[in-house]
Structure 1
Amino acid sequence: MTSIPFALNHMSAPALKIGEFFALAKQLGIDAVEIRNDLSGNAILDGTKPEEIKQAAANHGLSIISINALQRFNEWNETRAHEAAELIGYAAACGAEALVLVPKNDGTGREDGARQANLRQALQALKPMLEAAGIIGLVEPLGFEICSLRSKTEAADAIEALSAQSTFKLVHDTFHHHLAGEEPIFPHLTGLVHISGVSDPDVSVSDMRDLHRVLVDACDRLDNAGQMRTLLKAGYKGRFSFEPFADEVHGLTDPAAALKASMTYLSAAL
């Protein structure tokens, strides 16, 4: 059985308050977490000060690997610049190592040429902001057909064109990697891996959505174990962070038991 460096995204148990979420991670023997800025009634949206988050994480012996996320990052404008500054400041103050960057996912900005130009413009603007704060930008392509950044290859090309490999890394999301149908992986440019499974036997790949994303088990159709094995063999040394979105996971009365079962399954599969 392989020892896998797991992490826990707050989307694994979004009903838990931040302190309870941190306690869950510790209970599972996980020492790294991702916090989110899209959970209403919870930190960060409830106004919890970053210093409180930092202290709570320290009390549980946890490192905060990211804030998830700056949305529509590749639609750079004054609004986005303001949002980025706020989130980067919060990340620095709470001790987070990185900020996840999520592209537009509404069918716009997909045209060849414009798509790549928009990406580079955003990365160029974010680079000095992130560097000044000592925060990594984690670029997360989404596999949905309507997304303005589906390809990790395009993201890697843009990062390398800006010589910004020390500022930006990729998120390899096992769900989105499967949906995008893109073979290349970039282990040495990957800063984080998000893991979730799809067990529904009836949904087609093109119809898979966040609501289908459950904890990885033996019925997984995305080959999480295979993707993880490939990344590890290629030299990836980072975290594998649970990020399920399905209501059935969010409604669990005992998320610890379900997460533990998934951890055990993946450790044995690898």
Structure 2
Amino acid sequence: MAAPIFAINHIATPYLRPAAFFQLAVALGLRDVEIRNDLGGNAIIDGTAATEMKALSKAAGVRIATINALQRFNEWTPEREHEAIELADYARDAGAAALVLVPVNDGTGQEEGERETNLRKALTALRPILESRGLLGFVEPLGFEICSLRSKGEAAHAIEAIGGKACFKLVHDTFHHHLAGEPEFFPDLTGLVHISGVTDPHVSIDDMRDPHRVLVDENDRLGNVDQIRALLNQGYKGLFSFEPFAEEVQKMADPARAISASMAWINTRLG
């Protein structure tokens, strides 16, 4: 079994400016990063140009794996199309390889038939937008009960149905995989893995939310190591990107030390 290739999502250290975030990746020995379009007061929201982001990443010697994310992608409207084109242009100009696609997560669009129709419509419309810019689309099912796309299997079926395997891949998020309770792994169709742990011993699975997501350690309740091992054993060769949302992680005084310790613990447990 090969060792996991780690990456880091900017949500882990949202208060670092891009250059400092890229340098953190370098300090951790990582070559790949994920940038975001939802960090208030930081790039991309603050108007940082895509060309500047590309130059900063190149200077640091890191690759921008994804921009995270086009929200509500499976609610396809003229507004969504405009957002998709704008974000895809930014991703292309920043040198990103892929755009993460996040589904509606507010309790709407969940009915049988409606889900599949909406998903296929969005994927079909997104395909030429992404392909013309040399981008992949990473579909990220969310495990929350209110989500319009919980199942990776459903996403995989839709990708197959529209003939989109060359353009679309899945995001396997260890947090959402655990919440959804979906046993299947799709290593051949997986383009990215997000990793985070939940260590709070009191929160129930149904009540787990993003603020509970911390770095993976010996108190992890999500079975991250087992999930990572299963993906590697089944042939997945892509990135495992740290995506903790907990404020206690985001405000750590020494994130490099903490993230390095998490990587070391995971590797030790993997043997």
Same fold (TM > 0.5): yes
Aligned equivalent of 1:99? 99
Contact 1:9 1:241 in 2 (8 A): yes
How far 1:81 sits from its partner (Å)? 0.2
Asked if 1:168 is matched to 2:152, the reply is: no
Contact 1:174 1:193 in 2 (8 A): yes
Correspondence 1:148-163 to 2 at 5 A: 148-163=148-163
How far 1:163 sits from its partner (Å)? 1.0
Distance in 2 between the 1:78 and 1:3 partners?
43
How far 1:204 sits from its partner (Å)? 0.4
| Structure 1: 5+ residue stretches without partners | none
Question: What does the per-residue CA deviation read over 1:133-155, in whole Å, with 9 as the maximum and x for residues that have no partner?
Answer: 01000000000000000000000
Asked if 1:256 is matched to 2:251, the reply is: no
Aligned equivalent of 2:44? 44
Question: What does the per-residue CA deviation read over 1:41-98, in whole Å, with 9 as the maximum and x for residues that have no partner?
Answer: 1111010110111011111111100000000000000110000000000000000000
Correspondence 1:212-251 to 2 at 5 A: 212-251=212-251
Aligned equivalent of 1:10? 10
Distance in 1 between the 2:239 and 2:87 partners?
22
3-state DSSP of counterpart to 2:147: coil
TM-score of the aligned structures, taking structure 1 as reference length: 0.99
Contact 1:2 1:268 in 2 (8 A): no
How far 1:251 sits from its partner (Å)? 1.3
Asked if 1:128 is matched to 2:146, the reply is: no
| Structure 2: 5+ residue stretches without partners | none
Question: What does the per-residue CA deviation read over 1:20-42, in whole Å, with 9 as the maximum and x for residues that have no partner?
Answer: 00000000000000000000111
Distance in 2 between the 1:266 and 1:82 partners?
40
Aligned equivalent of 1:146? 146
Over aligned residues, Cα RMSD in angstroms?
Answer: 0.9
Distance in 2 between the 1:51 and 1:74 partners?
29
Question: What does the per-residue CA deviation read over 1:214-257, in whole Å, with 9 as the maximum and x for residues that have no partner?
Answer: 00000000010000000000000000000000011011111111
Identity over aligned pairs, percent: 62
Distance in 2 between the 1:2 and 1:262 partners?
18
How far 1:2 sits from its partner (Å)? 6.4
Q: Which runs of 4+ in 1 moved over 3 A?
A: none
Contact 1:2 1:267 in 2 (8 A): no
Distance in 1 between the 2:29 and 2:57 partners?
14
1:241 aligned partner, one-letter code = S
How far 1:4 sits from its partner (Å)? 2.1
Contact 1:144 1:180 in 2 (8 A): yes
Distance in 1 between the 2:44 and 2:204 partners?
35
